[in-house]
Amino acid sequence: MKAGGLILLGLGAYAVYYFSGLAVAAAVLNVVFDDIQFNGVNSLTLYFKLQNVSNSTLIINSLEGDVTINGNDLGNVSFFPGQPLQVLSNSETRIGVNLNIGLLSLPGTIKSLLSKGSGTFDVIMTGHANINNQVVPIDSETNFSFSG
């Protein structure tokens, strides 16, 4: 086999390894909205459960995403722990992430929350996580009950 063929074979093997690991990391981590804490007019702390359903420890290097409530853009969340966060196999870890609400989205969000007063809210977080040094998409949708 010529050198060019070996290089292509090596690149193909690496691509299979990389993308299979990406699919595994995405399939074994569930990001579930857990709670919300109001810190001020335009600052919230959102709590998420990171659930590892694999037999291996996952290393979370970062997590970021956009959050909407009832279809209103709420803002961006980011989690950069400094030291990688370990989520042990078949377990869950709770994290809190600060969310600074964009001033342009604040009126619509407050109107949506106040008009209902209480009830169920649809919270959606879409973004990415760096898991085991691989960037994977995160999509989390949860119904959250709130009493005002």
Return averaged pLDDT per consecutive 10 residues of the chain, 148 residues in all.
56 52 58 81 82 90 87 83 92 88 62 61 86 88 68
Q: Which domain holds residue 19?
A: 3-146
pLDDT score at 22: 44
CB-count exposure of residue 125 (10 Å: 0-12, 13-18, 19+): buried
Closest to 48 (Cα-Cα) out of 88, 99, 82, 84: 99
Considering its fold, how many domains does the chain have in total? 1
pTM of the model: 0.69
Token pair recorded at residue 48: 């998420």
Domain CATH number, residue 79: 2.60.40.1820
Strand partners, 102: none
